[in-house]
Amino acid sequence: MGLQDSETVRCWTWGPNRNLPLSQDGDIVMGGSFSLHDETPAIDNVYEQISFWASCPCLSDRRLYPNFFRTIPSDIYQARTLAQLAIRFKWTWIGAVVIQNDYGLGAVKVFQKETEGFVCLAFLRTVRGENIVTDAREAALTIQASTAKVIMIISGPKAVRELFVQLDRLNVTDRQFLATEAWSTSGDLLQHPATSRVARGVFGVAIRSSNIDGFEAYIRGLHPSQRPDNEFLREYWEKEFGCAPVSSSSASLPPCNGTESLYGVHSHFTDMSQLRVTYNVYLAVYAAAHALHSLLSCPNTDTSTSSCSSPHQVTPAQLLKHLSRVNFTTPQGERFYFQGGDIPAKYDLVNWQKSPEGSLRLSLIGKVDGFDIDLNETGIQWSTGSSQVPVAVCSVSCAPGTRKARKKGKPSCCFDCITCASGEISNKTDSLNCQRCPPEYWSNAKGTACIPRQQDFLSFNETLGITLTTVAVFGAVMTTAVFVVFLYYQQTPMVRANNSELSFLLLVSLKLCFLCSLVFIGRPSVWSCRFQQAAFSISFVLSISCLQVKTMVVLAAFRSARPGAGMFVKWFSPRKQRGSVCLLTSMQIIICVVWLSVSPPEPHLDLGVQGSKVTVECAMESVLGFSLVLGYIGLLACTCLLLAFLARKLPDNFNEAKLITFSMLIFCAVWVAFVPAYVSSPGKYSVAVEIFAILASSYGLLFCIFAPKCFVILLRPERNTKKHLMAR
């Protein structure tokens, strides 16, 4: 790159310590250097440092370490990757075993921050470097007792190996381990006997690997004769081939014959498939070389005022400036540059898979580039030996139709699933709250959707509707039968007594009372709501008016014998009786016309009642109008009862006032009981109560007044004479 043989690269690389390499005085200890010849430069200034192994997040602080660069990502990115994987696989209940130093505690802190609200730690055990065996045993016991099926281990290979040994002794073989790059590619762990029994399917992050062009040929071409001073190569040669090279002083081994070669050797030393840390060193060297090349090939020759330099006047400040601007593409096609002192986070995702021979092998199943994860999920072999993702939850997800309720004293990932109350739904998994349906809707059976509420009303098709209809029709038929009997025997004294016209009119009104109850059954409509109240109120007023006039006629008849009673009797001639009935009834008609014209009842959905059904009812828009209608009926009924009660003991063999008294007592009792029953009945049952009151009072009037007369007419005809009726 334009450097002369005498030029020295004053750019140091950080040694293999993962954490801060501090001396006893607290200074950062720098290990190793590289130069274009074998001389070590004298350190007279602060030199740029490029680390291939130090991943402590603290080294990203440019205020404290302005001259520091590295070709390995910060541990923050590794912790974020582990958090992304946990969220991706929906592992919400994870155990953690970490080394008690900045590497372990810092990583788990970042992991917890990134997974807050998604993942809970079932436990957090720390392992101390000076007490590995005891701490590993305690961690193994915790794992055995925990319900967490996924265990994240943030530590070095030594602590992990001891933990696996302890788990093997406890026969804990059903856990899925999540590994960090500190031990995910450890060859010693892969070959350890306990690992194959305990740690099948280990899945985790690894330092990214790459091929280095020409490096394998360079390694396999090494020979002790070419490098007689290389002690490492000589010792490796003796161990691999069992002979002493020419440069060896070993007398215990026979001399090599010179034909030995690394081209046919397959060992860890010649394996080029896992160039991870080696590739980081490779990138560090390339970064330094490109920075120097940029510095020395600058066209500006005025070195005192620019960032350029001559080969003999390279300053740390100039090199730092060019190193921070390094941007090149490696022979492998990777774009390389520094972000501050860091490089973009890139990792491999590896999986420990069982080979056909039964041993564990390392398989590449994905890559990480920043926040992007490219993962072949189907290629993962989990601890169960299958491709099914392990389940790691404290509580099973709450299905739609339920909500999460956190268990007292437990983390947020531990919860109970509470079924949504009626009228409330949750339509997604793990809902925190159930949502209430709109008033016109109700929850379905599963509580997952709001469906329109079923409209409910007293129908002709249901049992209650059929029963009330049958009773009403039977009452109308009975009234018609009585009408026919009275019509057939209209010339008899029993029928002609006390104005037969009023008796026929009373029977007609009673038949209307029975039939008007049918209007209350069926789906309410605008016209049915108006007609049912009008028909009910006018029919009953007509009936009670007939009874009241009958009672007044009885009183007038027995007062006619007294002096001065002539004028009183004139007011109760048949024509005046008909007029009185019409007058009393017309007042109710006027009230109904005004009420139904101003504020009539309307069909209304009673949304105030909870349930899957909503009652369609006739809502009384004007309580005053309805009260006047009932009040007028009550006034006539009380007046009629009072008059009938006063006339009950008048001398006559057949005093109709007694019958009217009993009928009005029944009528008043039914309607007094109706009020609380109507108010307390829900939905369509309030309509049924009103129909029952109409039918009960109608049957009371029919039987109390006409049953005794029909008995005499049909079964005791000898009593149906004027003489018998006039007898005292």
Q: How many residues does this entry show for the chain?
A: 728
Q: What is the mean pLDDT of the chain?
A: 83
Angle at 48 between CA 45 and CA 51, to 5 degrees: 135
613-619/454-456 β-pairing: parallel
Residue 606 in this model has a pLDDT that exceeds 50: yes
Residue 5 in this model has a pLDDT that exceeds 50: no
Residue 474 has a pLDDT of: 95
Of 276-280, 355-359, 361-365, 571-575, the one with minimum mean pLDDT is: 571-575
Residue 400 has a pLDDT of: 93
93-99/150-154 β-pairing: parallel
Amino acid at 615: T
Average pLDDT over residues 564-584: 71
Residue 580 has a pLDDT of: 86
Model confidence band, residue 661 (pLDDT cutoffs 50, 70, 90): confident
pLDDT tens digits, residue range 446-483? 999 999 988 888 889 999 999 999 999 999 999 999 99
Residue 9 phi/psi, 5-degree rounding, is -90, 110
Distance separating alpha carbons of residues 75 and 81, to the nearest angstrom: 10
Instruction: Write down the H helix ranges in 621-655.
Output: 623-646
| Residue predicted with more confidence, 470 or 253 | 470
The secondary structure of residue 470, as a DSSP letter, is H
What are the contacts of 538-542 at 24+ separation with CB within 8 A? 538/585, 538/588, 538/589, 538/592, 539/509, 539/512, 539/513, 540/509, 540/513, 540/633, 540/694, 540/697, 541/584, 541/585, 541/587, 541/588, 541/632, 541/633, 541/636, 542/505, 542/509, 542/512, 542/581, 542/585
Of 102-106, 313-317, 432-436, the one with minimum mean pLDDT is: 313-317
CA-only gyration radius of the chain, Å? 52
10 Å CB burial of residue 189 (0-12, 13-18, 19+) is buried
pLDDT tens digits, residue range 533-560? 889 889 989 998 988 888 887 777 666 5
Q: Return the half-sphere exposure (C-beta side, CA atoms, 13 A cut-off) of residue 387.
A: 6
Residue 624 has a pLDDT of: 87
pLDDT tens digits, residue range 375-405? 999 999 999 888 889 999 998 889 999 999 9
pLDDT tens digits, residue range 612-641? 888 888 888 888 888 898 889 889 888 888
Highest mean pLDDT among 29-33, 137-141, 507-511, 592-596: 137-141
Amino acid at 269: F
- Report percent pLDDT > 70 for the chain: 86
Taking a C-beta distance cutoff of 8 angstroms, is the pair 664, 643 a contact? Answer: no
Amino acid at 30: M
Residue 425 phi/psi, 5-degree rounding, is -140, 160
Of 412-416, 507-511, 575-579, 684-688, the one with minimum mean pLDDT is: 575-579
Residue 568 has a pLDDT of: 52
Distance separating alpha carbons of residues 116 and 413, to the nearest angstrom: 11
- Write the CB contacts of 402 (distance below 8 Å, at least 6 apart in sequence): 417, 418, 419, 420, 426, 431, 447
Residue 19 has a pLDDT of: 46
The token pair at 677 is 């029953």
| Residue predicted with more confidence, 492 or 337 | 337
Distance separating alpha carbons of residues 188 and 162, to the nearest angstrom: 12
Angle at 290 between CA 284 and CA 296, to 5 degrees: 135
